[in-house]
Structure 1
Amino acid sequence: MKRTLVFGGGVAAAGLLAAGLVAPAQAANDVKSTNLANTNFAAWQVINYWWGEKHSNFVNATPYNVETDVKRAKHISTGGPSADSKAGIVPAIGDEKKAASKSKNVNLPRTTGKVFFRGADGKPHWCSATSVQSQYRNLVATAGHCVYDTVSNKATLDKWVFVPGYYQGKTPWGIYVGKTAYTHYDFDVYEDGDRNYAFVTVYNGVLPDGWDRKKRRMKIKDVGRLGDNVGGQGLAYNQKVGVNVFVFGYPSGSHPDGNHAFNGKTLKWTYGKTFAVQAPAIKGEELIGTKSSFTGQGAIGSSWLLQYKSAKRIGYLNGVTIGVSDTDGNKRYDTSVSPYFDGETYGVYKAAISNWSGKIA
């Protein structure tokens, strides 16, 4: 759903992107915010759910398979997404501590990880997600339906956490409990595919720190802010369609022909140009796609990074995977699909970036 926005200031050029640090004006009621765990006690309950019983919920979590297969998605040559104001960027937070100087390989971003939550079926699931730049270095971006429960129509999914670099029960940079979720009103109310993205503020990360015999519970230690530990991607909006992007995520599940190409255990990537896509089945009139063999389960929420710099592991978030599609009918997924990031996307992001989360420990 495209709206005409009034641009509220000047912009400056920055390389191939027009860097608009003053963004389009947006009505406050276009942004929906919902508490996930807004007290320390609530955050403790979330941690206990994931770390209790020898991390069994982490281990048993399965890739989220809700709305992964985008039926009848098609490439279009006319119409489709268009900028609603001037192009703009928000710079990234670099992962400078271990930046590789030169490498022929693609260095995977430490910002990417998995979001875990309890689904409408009462079972633990996960999607892909990434850390993004914000004032308090505490923000995560993913698909809207990896935050908002489109199955039961409950406000949000339960027990929501982000774990960068998660691998088989290991949480190398800590576990970050979601505090508040921000999405576009049109997704929250109408499940508009063009607005299927979410930004979530998270508490400082925590790790186990022994057992408290007196309180009969696990002790935890604070490991600091998300962005300080893994960096945070920038944001790009109102960019041209037809640019190259890297897509980073944890695909799992099978192609329609039964081929099980990915297991979701390790971070994967694809690279290609974006193009305009429409998908009436998910109310998607202004989507973008890129050629990708990713299967949908687990890959939902994957980050689309524009101008990704492998040495510093940072770029500009310019999309999130909301589904995959077999566009040529050969029973193999060939396209990943994302909303087009425009000024309204920036408006949701802007509503989230200045909100402090604090510590749990």
Structure 2
Amino acid sequence: MRRHRFAATVLTAVGALLAGALSTTSAGAAPPPAPAPSSFAPQQAADGFWTAERMRGATPLDLIHVTPGSVRAPVPAAVGAETIIGPTSFPQAGGPWTGGGAVVKTSGRVFFTFQGRTASCSGNSVTSQNGSTVMTAGHCVKYQGSWHTDWIFVPGYDNGQAPYGRWSATKTFATQQWAASEDINYDVGAAVVAPLNGRTLAETVGAQGLKFNGGYNKAMYAFGFPAADPYDGSKLIHCSGNSSKDFLFSQDHSLGCNMTGGSSGGPWFESFDEATGTGLQVSVNSFGYRFLPNRMFGPYFGPEAKSVYDQAQAT
């Protein structure tokens, strides 16, 4: 999950920030960039590359914005544990998932190489034509103009162990808006993974349904494998509650949650059944604001997200 950190002068004037949302375009602005490819075929991870030790040591991808400029223009960021600026005594909204059900198998950790470093996110197996589609965040497949490599999905990750195998991506995807300019409103990605032992991902761990254009202000459950303090990436964490629409700088969903870096790409469910661990995926963990701790945001699954899903499932 990413947290936007604003400059000190801005932090002292939160009232001004709340007065109006930032615009992603302006009169007289330069025309939008030419469309960028929305998919990339990375080299499959070498068998044995992602050892238990290497997975435990992967750094959560935590992207930080340091100025209040357009949310469409991320600045270079370090991969590392995030430090939240603001009160830390608020009630915590996340905890280990102990309910069992399908979600413990369909959700998992995502590992990849980013600028020569091993990094991690989260993801979820979804219903698809090919039975091999994983939904995640856009920045978990591409960031700073480069598509991640050595990309694998580890469903049911358990403290360095891969009980259902390590699934190598054959192709990764992102919304056109994320691929072209890393627009935070469209931070949605997907991957198609190769069969393992003659079986597809869905045949092995199952798959969750999805819902697009479902509206806002719904009861939701969010899942992920946060790996930045106070978490260590070893367990599936969840948050639940009534969501709302971001009233600040994006058109994203908002949910009370204290998950940290590494949870990015984990699924948000509507109509989630605790008894069966199933629901309809409507978003992914994406980012948070530095001055608004214990609040997480996820992109709206509209036509852009559906287009990514359709590309992936038809591959």
Normalised to the residue count of structure 1, the TM-score between the two structures is: 0.65
Cα deviation, residue 47, structure 1: 2.2
User: Mean alpha-carbon deviation: is it higher for 308-317 or for 124-133?
Assistant: 308-317
Equivalent residue, structure 2, for 1:340: 300
Bigger fraction of residues in strand: 1
Mapped partners of 1:294, 1:56: distance in 2? 23
CA distance in 2, matches of 1:49, 1:180: 18
How many residues are aligned here? 254
Q: Cα offset for 1:65?
A: 2.1
> Paired residue for 1:273, among 232, 235, 242?
242
**Residue 258 (structure 2) pairs with residue 293 (structure 1):** yes
CA RMSD of aligned residues (A): 2.6
1:310 equivalenced with 2:274 (yes/no): yes
Cα displacement (A) at 1:124: 1.1
TM-fit CA distance, 1:31: 7.3
The residue that corresponds to 2:141 in the other structure is 147
Corresponding residue of 2:218? 243
Percent identity over paired residues: 25
Cα shift at 1:71:
8.1
Match of 1:33 among 33, 36, 39: 39
User: Aligned partner of 2:259: which letter?
Assistant: F
CA distance in 1: counterparts of 2:312 and 2:232, whole angstroms: 33
Aligned to 2:207: 232
Equivalent residue, structure 2, for 1:350: 310
Distance 1:70-1:349 versus aligned 2 partners, 3 A rule: farther
User: Is the 8 Å Cα contact of residues 141 and 173 (structure 2) preserved in structure 1?
Assistant: no
User: What TM-score results when the alignment is normalised by the length of structure 2?
Assistant: 0.74
Once the two structures are overlaid, the 10-residue window that deviates more, 57-66 or 163-172, is: 57-66
1:192 paired with 2:147, answer no
1:30–1:61 Cα change, 3 Å:
closer
Secondary structure of 1:224's counterpart equals coil
Could you report, residue by residue, the CA deviation over 1:105-149 in whole angstroms, capped at 9, with x for unpaired residues? 6335110100101111x1211111111111121000111111003
1:199-218 → structure 2 map (5 Å cutoff): 199-205=190-196
User: 1: CA distance between counterparts of 2:140 and 2:304?
Assistant: 19
- Aligned twin of 1:93: none
Name the SS for the 1:271 alignment partner.
strand
Which consecutive unaligned segments of at least 5 residues does structure 2 have?
1-22, 25-34, 69-97
| CA distance, structure 1, for counterparts of residue 211 and residue 291 of structure 2 | 27
Would you say 1:60 and 2:57 are equivalent positions? yes
Residues 326 and 335 in structure 1, CA contact (< 8 A), matched pair in contact too = no
Could you tell me how far 1:334 is from its partner in structure 2?
A: 1.5
**1:247·1:270 contact (CA, 8 Å) conserved in 2?**
yes
**What is the one-letter code of the residue matched to 2:239?**
T
User: Which stretches in structure 1 are left out of the alignment for 5+ residues?
Assistant: 3-28, 38-42, 73-104, 206-221, 255-260, 356-361
